[in-house]
Structure 1
Amino acid sequence: MAAIGDSYSAGIGAGNRLGSFLDALNSQRDWACSRYDHAYPYLVNNDPSLGDPSKRTFQFLSCSGALSKDVLEKQIPRLSSDQQAILLSVGGNDVELVNILNQCIFQVGVLNPEQVIVAKLAAQTEEYAWAKDFDFDTLGRGCAAQLDHTATFIGSSTFSQRLDNVLSAAKGKLAKEYGKFFAEDLSPDCNHVTWSTWIYKAANVFQDAQYLTQDNRRRMNGLVDSVNAQLKAAAERAGPSVVFVDYDSYVGEFHGRYCEAGVDEATTESNTRIPLMF
């Protein structure tokens, strides 16, 4: 059994981090990839219904932040050739999940249009020459434009081809979908909640922070559905040896999403509530 893919299968933040910080500079080791011992592939491998895990080899190669290109070039070639099942999550980083989180949720490093101009001018000077290759336009894209950009890419043939390439290389394995982050009833309870970081607020005192509005949550959930539709289509094109695992509905059934009705997401306690699956 093996697991490949991105942070969804690496289990970032779930349980205890594997490995040692001494391996942080080795990009494919446990610590550097933020693999955790409550990641779903780790739990599946240790499920007693599958027999004694000590009698099989488990290759845990998923790496947080991995693009489909990384899975194809850095993970799949390291798999032993006698796998009976491979758990796979891929595509989220290709459609710029990190940029969505930055622009629409946490705002760790975002710029307004005026700041983009100033930053580009500064990068042309010798003092800030180290920043000349920074993508300031992406940092200044804004939430709505970022969601539009991601939606366009999800529907592109480029994205479909990337998924096909990964599944073709990992043929005869198991593929899995993503779960939506926000409750589908779109309760108004979160409309006035912001998870924008203090960094953004300190640097942008006179600008509004992003809030978890019903419209933003609806659009982000819709993007997850669009990615899952592409993943399902790619799995079907790959043939019967690849199975698309539809687990998103169970996340909702057990109230495992953010902004469930009656939950105050403005409190730190909401992040540790038992049903939460993220």
Structure 2
Amino acid sequence: MDFSIFLFLLTFASAVQGHVPHPKHSRLHSASPPKLTKRADADPSDFSWVKRWAAIGDSYTAGIGSGRPLGSILDGEELDVKVKTMNITLPNLEFSGHGNWYCARYDMSYPMIISRLLGSQVESFQYAACSGDRAGQIYQQAEQIEGDLDMVMLTAGGNDLCLAGIIADCILLSANNEEACEAVLKVAEENVENIITSNMKEILYALNKKVNKDGIVVVLGYAEFFSTEDDSCEYEEWDKKAFLEPIQTPQKLTIARRHRFNALVKKINRATADAVNDISKDDDVKYKIGFADWNPWVTDASIDGQMCSPSANGDYPSKDQPQMQFIKPPTNPTPGEREDLKKRGVDGSDYYDYSQGELRRKRAAESIWGSKFFNSANSPELVRRVLGRRAPKPPGCPSDESRDWTMGLGLPNDIAENFHPNENGHVTMASFAMAEAMDLRSLVLGIDPPSCEVKDQFKCWSDDNWKIYASADRLDEHYEDFCKNIEQPDHQKGWDYYKVYDEGTPDEHEFRISLGDDVADYDVNQCIDSFKKLIHNCDTNRRLNWKTGGKYVRDDGAYTYEVSPTRYNRPWPPPEYAQGTCKGWCFKNNKVVKGAGGWTDGCGGND
């Protein structure tokens, strides 16, 4: 690992953590005086206090594909000579000792990078993270690791969004799988709203029995896979069965679909941050906790770290994209194939084998509609796992009932590692995790965390070719209501608050305010002024005044205002003229509201 790159990223992470909206440390148990003895120089970057620590979680913490594997199929199931073998119940009710080979742990994962950074002072490092584990298994990891821990780092939730199914049915094996793709995406979108936050909280409560007073827990988020700048990615060969065209036609990785995949990442990060925020305010939790959001680095245009970048041609690795953050399959067709794909631009429906397609669709429908989500009277309150009353809720992925053709071995690592962080990504994760740990350590020491000055920033989402939009009239109707009715916490600094309006309609949108670490109060007039500028100073060239929103950072990072439309499947490009006739109406707030094509009604209308 290039240590200079790590130090540079660590510096950047410290700066970004100061202004990216996430749970702020000034409110994490700040009422309780620090119990640990302060160093004379009170240096939060000194980690000599970490004697025992652990890393738990899924494949993002196991580090599949990043570097070299830590184990082989001939190894036993022991994690460490000082750590007892685990006994993890898998979703199929079988058991696993969770050894290095089974869990696909790699030596350039972010926990291994941090382990080398901490050095020989550490007496015990328990590496329990396991590729493929869902919240139910990660909860067991938390319960079965040895306690008396000074620090824990983890990721969790990706597999509860049926990530493997999304990658298979929507990208790598997408041909003739449109219905299966839509089915698994629907479950993922239900799960991110209904079970991610509660599942994460169960894991974090389990850690309360393992982590010392004033110990540190860092929860890392995920990062958006795809750039959405242009459509060149549609003509790359993502599907492993692309050679069967036109007999089987893969689903194109369109800009709209990439936005949808990225939206899931943003939503799981928000749901995870909400869980961290809730735990931080629980007086019964004895450790300090923070959320490390490394997504801003990955999505920064100057880093160029996402798949589908205009600067790359589909090769991996690519000399044109040296800071790529993810492992991906080579998707670059030959120039002749690329031109042929562009010229065809057809779905090849004349060549479909509908007998097989109908069978796939039937199986997908039976699997999704037979899942726990769609057969529960109250889907957020799903049946608990057999693991116990407090075990996290199962995701109910469509593929859960399918036959495991790998006979329990899982996918080969060179396939399963796709869409996971590569070495660059894990250096980024390690940097943001350590920056968060230093912030939390500063809280324990009773000093200000290291930070960099943040200047005012005004950004329109359309600058990033954001293809989600809402009517300016709907945004205008709500921003003053938002600012005047913010539920401000008492005696807290660094809080944030958001509210969704026009939920379930094409104009669904969200307003959000986030305060800096040392700020407790907000100004209503500044709030109104900020959102007014975001709405009317962006997207000024749209004929029908469609708005994509944006972000306004003010007072050197003290206040961050964001307005974001959230309906991802609207027509693109946006219509420039109203279409159709007005034939519908509904009652809303004692008024009759009308709607037609190209303009929406705010109470359930559509495009």
| TM superposition score category, shorter chain reference | 0.7 to 0.9
Structure number with greater Rg is 2
Once the two structures are superposed, what CA deviation does each residue of 1:54-98 show, in whole Å capped at 9, x if it has no partner?
53321111100000000112x113322121111110000011000
User: Structure 1 or 2: larger strand share?
Assistant: 2
Q: Give secondary structure in 1 for the equivalent of 2:74.
A: helix
CA distance in structure 1 between the partners assigned to 2:317 and 2:71 by the alignment: 28
CA distance in structure 1 between the partners assigned to 2:312 and 2:201 by the alignment: 39
User: Which residue number corresponds to residue 107 of structure 1?
Assistant: 173
CA distance in structure 2 between the partners assigned to 1:193 and 1:261 by the alignment: 12
TM superposition score normalised by structure 1: 0.79
Equivalent pairs: percent with the same residue? Answer: 29
Residue 245 of structure 1 is aligned with which of 254, 277, 292? 292
Q: Answer whether contact 2:176 2:250 (CA < 8 A) is retained.
A: no
Q: Answer whether contact 2:305 2:321 (CA < 8 A) is retained.
A: no
What does 1:47-196 correspond to in 2, within 5 Å? 47=117, 50=118, 52-53=119-120, 55-73=122-140, 75-107=141-173, 141-156=179-194, 158-171=195-208, 173-183=217-227, 185-196=228-239
Residue 212 of structure 1 deviates from its aligned partner by 1.9
User: Which residue number corresponds to residue 121 of structure 1?
Assistant: none
User: Which residue number corresponds to residue 119 of structure 1?
Assistant: none
Once the two structures are superposed, what CA deviation does each residue of 1:216-262 show, in whole Å capped at 9, x if it has no partner?
11100000000000000000011162211111111223222111222
Q: Answer whether contact 2:176 2:249 (CA < 8 A) is retained.
A: no
Quick one: which amino acid aligns to residue 5 of structure 1? Answer: G
CA distance in structure 2 between the partners assigned to 1:222 and 1:237 by the alignment: 23
Quick one: which amino acid aligns to residue 252 of structure 2? Answer: Y
Q: Answer whether contact 1:177 1:245 (CA < 8 A) is retained.
A: yes
Q: Answer whether contact 1:194 1:210 (CA < 8 A) is retained.
A: no
What does 1:12-27 correspond to in 2, within 5 Å? 12-23=64-75, 27=97
Q: Answer whether contact 1:87 1:174 (CA < 8 A) is retained.
A: yes
Q: Where does structure 1 lack aligned partners over 5 or more consecutive residues?
A: 113-139
Residue 116 of structure 2 is aligned with which of 14, 25, 46? 46
CA distance in structure 2 between the partners assigned to 1:271 and 1:151 by the alignment: 35
CA distance in structure 1 between the partners assigned to 2:206 and 2:230 by the alignment: 42
Q: Which runs of 4+ in 1 moved over 4 A?
A: 24-27
Number of aligned residue pairs: give it: 241
User: Which residue number corresponds to residue 577 of structure 2?
Assistant: none
Quick one: which amino acid aligns to residue 199 of structure 2? Answer: R
User: Structure 1 or 2: larger helix share?
Assistant: 1
Q: Answer whether contact 1:186 1:218 (CA < 8 A) is retained.
A: no
Residue 35 of structure 1 is aligned with which of 91, 105, 118? 105
Q: Where does structure 2 lack aligned partners over 5 or more consecutive residues?
A: 1-52, 78-95, 209-215, 282-287, 327-607
CA distance in structure 2 between the partners assigned to 1:32 and 1:111 by the alignment: 32
C-alpha RMSD of matched pairs (Å): 2.4
User: Which residue number corresponds to residue 4 of structure 1?
Assistant: 56
CA distance in structure 1 between the partners assigned to 2:230 and 2:76 by the alignment: 40
Describe the shift of the 1:53–1:255 C-alpha distance in structure 2 as closer, same or farther (beyond 3 A).
farther
Quick one: which amino acid aligns to residue 152 of structure 1? Answer: E
CA distance in structure 1 between the partners assigned to 2:180 and 2:137 by the alignment: 27
Quick one: which amino acid aligns to residue 175 of structure 1? Answer: V
Q: Answer whether contact 1:24 1:32 (CA < 8 A) is retained.
A: no
